Structure 1
Amino acid sequence: MRRPHTQVLKSKLEEAVVSSQDQQIVALVLTRLKKAQRMRELQQQAAEAWEELKRSDQKVQMTLERERRRLLQQSQEQWQEKEQRKTLQSPEQRCRRRDSQRKNVPMGESRWKEQTEDQESPRQEKLEKARAQAEHRKQCQVRRLREQEKMLRNLREQHTLQLQRRLVEACRKRHLHAVEGQKKVQDTNLSSLINYQARKVLMDCQAKAEELLRQLSLEQSFQRSQEIHQGRMKERHRELREKAQKEEEQLQQARWRAGESEEQRKMRKRILVELADEKIRQARNHVHKTTRDKVQHLRELSHLREKNHHILKLKAEKEEKCHIEGIKEAIKKKEQRVRHITQGKDPNFQEFQKLPQASRREERASQSNQGSST
């Protein structure tokens, strides 16, 4: 009887936890959580793009700084070469010097100097050739420097355009984020209402589930208590039967000792059986009672126990009294018989005296046989 009721409680618990309306509310809450997760992902992507833009800007600045230092070093090297060339004399200066030397020195010395200058002419040609090569290298370096400057300008323009595009994208994402934030602010009341309803439904479901679990626990505990009580009642019934049987045996012994009549024995046995049946019937009625009158039933059971205890006490006192009275009566009869025998008033004893000796021996033998058979 209790198992179907337990299954019904479990099914009610499952229905309380899972219902269509609760599923819709939970789905709506999950949708809003997904939207919030998407917003966080977009914010993280915008932050990563901004960090990437900053890193790229730093790389371009470092590249420009390295190129500036290289160009500065090249310009310093060119300036040093120019200063070295200035130390060398030009051909016009050398001619003017030779003329001044010819005027100031004698004829022999002039010839010697001319020879010396003729010897130095190949050296001067080499110097002129080296100077021309240096000038050519200078022009190549200038041309290469201009090309590098042009390339740097192009790189700077590309980097500027890239920065502008990234800034525009960042501004667009910020604008989208601001718009979504405004929309989120507008949806705050709806979200709070949905969250409140979801929390309320979840709390109601939880309360309903707790109530059903509590009822289920009470049913199970009551079922266990009933099983325990049934076991105790069976044990009590068995003890009562054993006790009644033992009391019956004691009563039989007492009746045998006190010479109790058969009708009294049957009546006493019937009373004991009725008492035992009454106890069994009351115990069975107690098992089938519902939980609502459990307290009353416990009170009645306590009263019944007190009553049974009182009845058993009275019965024991009555049995003890009857036993004592029977013993007293037997003792009294025995004393009267002994007194009659001693006084010679017992008719059996008188007849016994009248019988011959042989008859007395036979009577004695028959009495001894009857005593052994009893």
Structure 2
Amino acid sequence: MTEDALTAPSGPGATPLRNPAATTAAPGAGTLLRLLRDGRPRTRSELAAVTGLARSTVTQRVDALLASGLIGPAGEAVSTGGRPPTTFSFRPGARVVLAADLGATHARLALTDMSGTVLAEDRADIDIATGPEPVLDWVVDHGRTLLESVGRHTRDLLGVGVGLPGPVQHSTGRAVNPPIMPGWDHFDVSGYVDSRIARPVLVDNDVNIMAVGEHHVAWPGASHLLFVKVATGIGCGIISEGSVYRGAQGAAGDMGHIYVPSGADRPCRCGNTGCLEAVASGHALAEALTAQGVPATGARDVVELSRNGSVPALRALRQAGRDIGEVLAASVNMFNPSVIVIGGALAQAGDHLLAGVREIIYQRSLPLATENLSIVSSKAGESAGVIGAAVMVIEHCLSPEHVETLVMGG
């Protein structure tokens, strides 16, 4: 994941991710940390051999990383004569990450270590339309509670990652004209959170972080992956060459507002008609079922009805899958992914949604593009977003150019 694909803190009181003065104290310590993050302990001599650096330089950098707590002794290597050399390894528990996945009607919060392993979680039903301050105050307040629950302090935080349910301009981390988020347009999320918790804050679209989380958990070897979230809205996170692809303004993957024939003149909340989201989202299915005499108020009700064997709900899910497949078939021909993951609230309803997606993709996409294509349900499930938000922070803050801040106690 590249640095320019992530959002640095901004706004009054923001904590800089890079301290230029730190580079003179332990230049290049981040390069050694990157090597040690693969989990294999190494000696100073091995690190010197891999990097081509002088033994004295490696010793200086290792000592700086040891002092920061980011690495620690990991036993002794086999002796080739004389005293066995000490090996060193990465310590994922040296810092923790606070990750927030904010949806239209829910918030999920997690505390992870620096490997992305979840240490503690919390969730609540919220209304994103209540505005940024109350929602972000919930994130900070409950984040502090999670820290206390595992015996950690804000000084142990590597950073905070936040996913928002709307378009996010990746260069600023601010939502831009989000249709379901009144009051959030261009609000300084990173600056607001940083002013309360004084740690680096990174912000992205919720589907992008879900794609990162799914990639991290289940498909680390997949260079090209699409993650489709089907819930109150519909969106797609794109992994290309192993990194999130956001497009020129961060709007890539907004597939919910692509026209589909079955949408006809049905109005969408974006102001257009015939959008995929207007016919296949949880909100759209709930409205359609209610009109048929099967009361439903949202995606959760649709899932519950399907689990109870409601024929209208199962039919609606299968058709929603076909509608989503119409859009994805074009994406398969254009992007040629190796994996398509279907996640979000409606994906919990079983195989009917997935079956509809597969039906249309295999019918309409080119054989070469689908020959080795996997179309699957999310393996990370509801944790995909918080894990992705945590990984976003970890990859940014532990990049070689930013490790110097941690070495200096930043």
Structure with larger RCO (C-alpha < 8 A, sep 6+): 1
Higher share in helix = 1
- Say yes or no: TM over 0.5: no
Q: What is the TM-score with the length of structure 2 in the denominator?
A: 0.16
Q: What is the TM-score with the length of structure 1 in the denominator?
A: 0.17
Larger Rg, first or second structure (1 or 2): 1
Higher share in strand = 2
